[in-house]
């Protein structure tokens, strides 16, 4: 007869375990998103996924666990909602059809590459063999107003996050997916821009997850590499709650120099107690 498994070792006020949600992992969106929801959003919560896309995020979430309101500005043909969810087409995440403070959680995952925001649909990134990528990740139309390039990416996030701050109830969670990018040969740290931007709306950045893709990113026509090729993305979790911490710092302001330490006379130092104690 085999002995029954030992119960988990108890520590003061908890249980010793390695089964914890960690901040970085290699894997896919669906696995990590399900973990993030389980950690940060209680069952029964009303959740709006306002950039539903193909609904990949929801593939590992137990159906019926949340009241899901799924929408997208341009739903993909044939996309269906998970069991019990509502699915609405033609909803712009910058102007949501929800009352103030109506939601417990909002999920935002707009196109994160500047190549998806061009004045002409013919100039959008993702042509030829990458057309499926564009179909899945963008709405396929031109961006005919507002800023250009990387600033167009941030402009959409900014307006959608303002809307999220309006429709979330106090204590509600905003889950934002993003990826940094090199645009016009400059490194643009989208996740930093989002953290500082959303904090300025009065939300608290409660958690940050790094997702590393399991396969190597392919590069066509590489000449000389200048920046590391991105193979990671982020999920940021904000809480609609004011806290006394901010992620913005200003190191350029000179701080007054510290007053000089009092100097002991030399004769006292030579004979004083403890001198050289640590030199043995
Ligand atoms: C990266 S995909 C989302 C993928 C999705 N999270 C999934 O799990 O399949 C981006 C989506 O944002 C949508 N989108 C782009 N601009 C939008 C806007 N202004 N309002 C709402 N949805 C938008 C696109 O149609 C596309 O489906």
Query: Which stretches in the chain have pLDDT values below 70?
Result: 1-3, 7-11, 116-144, 265-280
Q: What is the whole-number distance in angstroms between the Cα of residue 85 and the centre of ligand 1?
A: 17
pLDDT at residue 278, as a whole number = 41
What does the pLDDT read at residue 133? Answer: 53
Whether the CB-CB separation of 103 and 169 falls below 8 Å is answered with yes
The atom of ligand 1 lying closest to the CA of 53 is 27
CA distance 140 to 74: 8
- Our mutation pick for probing the ligand 1 site, out of 48, 49, 50, 51, counting the most ligand atoms within 8 A of Cβ, is 51
* Residue 98 to residues 50, 109, 169, 209, 245, Cα–Cα distance (Å): 11, 18, 11, 28, 29
Residues 6+ apart with CB under 8 A from 26: 211, 212, 213, 214
Closest atom of ligand 1 to CA, residue 93: 20
Q: What is the distance in A from the centroid of ligand 1 to the CA of 156?
A: 11
| Closest atom, ligand 1, to C-alpha of 76 | 27
**How would DSSP label each residue in 125-193?**
S--GGGHHHHHHHS-SS---SS--HHHHHHHHHHHHHHHHHHHEEEEEEEEEEE--EEETTEEE-HHHH
Q: Tell the residue nearest (CA) to atom 25 of ligand 1.
A: 139
d(CA 239, CA 168): 9
Residue 39's pLDDT is 98
56 Cα nearest atom in ligand 1: 8
- Pocket lined around ligand 1, Cβ cut-off 6 Å: 50-51, 53-57, 72-74, 92-94, 109-111, 137-139, 156
pTM (2 decimals)?
Answer: 0.83
Closest residue to atom 23 of ligand 1, CA basis: 73
Could you tell me the distance, in angstroms and rounded to a whole number, from the CA of residue 53 to the centre of ligand 1?
5
**Residue positions counted in the chain:** 280
277 backbone dihedrals φ, ψ, rounded to 5°: -55, -35
- Tell me which residue has its CA closest to atom 17 in ligand 1: 73
CA of 88 to the centre of ligand 1 (A): 13
93 SS3 class: coil
Q: What is the pLDDT of residue 184?
A: 92
Burial class of residue 279 (count of CB atoms within 10 Å of its CB; 0-12, 13-18, 19+):
exposed
Residue 274's pLDDT is what? 42
Residue identifier of the C-alpha nearest atom 18 of ligand 1: 92
List the alpha helices (DSSP H) in the chain: 29-40, 131-137, 149-167, 190-199, 266-271
Of the chain, the end-to-end C-alpha distance in Å amounts to 59
CA–CA gap between residue 92 and residue 162 (Å, rounded): 13
CA of 138 to the centre of ligand 1 (A): 6
Number of Cβ within a 10 Å radius of residue 198? 23
Instruction: Give the tokens for residue 136.
Output: 């899945």
Confidence (pLDDT) at 279? 35
Atom of ligand 1 nearest to the CA of 92: 20
Distance 56 CA to ligand 1 centre (A): 11
C-alpha separations of 255 from 231, 247, 249, 261, 262 in Å: 39, 19, 13, 17, 21
User: Is 50 in a helix, a strand, or coil?
Assistant: coil
């Amino acid at each position: 007869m085999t002995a029954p498994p030992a119960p988990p070792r108890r520590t003061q006020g908890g249980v010793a375990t390695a089964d914890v949600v960690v901040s970085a992992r290699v894997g896919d969106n669906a696995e990590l998103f399900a973990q993030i929801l389980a950690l940060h959003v209680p069952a029964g919560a009303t959740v709006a996924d306002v950039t539903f896309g193909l609904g990949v995020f929801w593939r590992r979430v137990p159906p019926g666990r949340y009241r899901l309101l799924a929408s997208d500005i341009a739903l993909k043909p044939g996309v269906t909602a998970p069991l019990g969810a509502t699915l609405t087409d033609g909803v712009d995440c910058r102007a949501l059809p929800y009352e103030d403070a109506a939601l417990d959680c909002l999920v935002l995952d707009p196109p994160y590459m500047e190549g998806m925001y061009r004045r002409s649909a013919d100039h959008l990134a993702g042509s030829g063999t990458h057309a499926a990528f564009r179909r899945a990740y963008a709405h396929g139309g031109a961006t005919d107003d507002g800023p250009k390039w990387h600033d167009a990416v941030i402009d959409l996030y900014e307006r959608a996050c303002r809307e999220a701050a309006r429709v979330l109830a106090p204590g509600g969670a905003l889950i934002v997916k993003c990826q940094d990018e090199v645009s016009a040969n400059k490194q643009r740290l989208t996740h930093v821009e989002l953290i500082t931007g959303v904090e300025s709306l009065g939300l608290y950045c409660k958690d940050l997850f790094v997702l590393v893709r399991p396969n190597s990113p392919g590069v066509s026509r590489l000449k000389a590499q200048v920046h590391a090729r991105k193979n990671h993305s982020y999920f940021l979790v904000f809480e609609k709650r004011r806290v006394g911490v901010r992620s913005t710092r200003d190191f350029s302001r000179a701080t007054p120099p510290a007053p000089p330490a009092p100097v002991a006379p030399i004769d006292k130092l030579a004979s004083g107690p403890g001198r050289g104690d640590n030199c043995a």
